Structure 1
């Protein structure tokens, strides 16, 4: 009985344009990355950063701009159009942080905004810092043992 029901649901459900959705995600995500590369070049040209040192201010700028766009309510419209194309770049992180803050602002600044802002992003930060710590320990041990030079 359930197999025939599932078949009916499948046959009557609208088909998703998978290829078109993938292309939109690819081009919007690529455009965000292209914009980030432009910011990186801006920092290298006007502020004398190197290719290695321009990454941190570029990421910070992208997160900040995403938070501004999310605050004005435009990021959700872009995300509805692009799907995963906006979640994969670092802009998805900025959107997650500020969306939680906006959602809980009625509870006050400390318990609402401050307490809920990093619920999703906090785990990303925690595991990122912890992973960097472990990699640094492993690299230090390998350098001390002379395995790498």
Structure 2
């Protein structure tokens, strides 16, 4: 079996990969991300008008965006929307919610416990574990060395 030279391999990869419209993708991601932020601000104003203080309104917005994203994922619409929106839809909190719900929906046919329940934290589990662990270590360092 003949091994391809690095130059030949790079040439084959370039020929098989279509060029990415980077500028268009960046503009589209900016617009979609900005739209999500605008929706978030509209929700903050709505929740404040309903009587919530600013910190509680912000929490309610986070919960609302997570719920909307999880619902869109459950209905199978999130992936279709994110194909066009790109990073504008995947980077904010909506993308994190999608990363939690997607594996669970993929394995829901295996049952509530072994499918949905066990796959819910497949992607986000490590993020949560390392996030909590690093925050505990950070807190201990601050406490032990009286930094603050």
TM bin, normalised by shorter chain, reads 0.7 to 0.9
d(CA) in 1 for partners of 2:16 and 2:81?
29
Which residue, 28, 35, 44 being the options, matches 1:31?
A: 35
TM-score (normalizing by structure 2): 0.82
Aligned partner of 2:77 in structure 1 is 74
d(CA) in 2 for partners of 1:14 and 1:62?
34
Off by >4 Å, runs of 4+ in structure 1: 138-142
d(CA) in 2 for partners of 1:21 and 1:9?
21
d(CA) in 1 for partners of 2:62 and 2:114?
28
Q: Which runs of 5+ in 2 are unaligned?
A: none
Change (3 A) 1:11 1:102: closer
Change (3 A) 1:29 1:122: same
TM-score (normalizing by structure 1): 0.81
Change (3 A) 1:58 1:110: same
Q: Which runs of 5+ in 1 are unaligned?
A: none
Of 81-90 and 13-22, deviating more is 13-22
Q: How many residues align?
A: 144
Q: What root-mean-square deviation, in Å, do the aligned CA atoms of Structure 1 and Structure 2 show?
A: 2.3
Matched, 1:99 2:102: yes
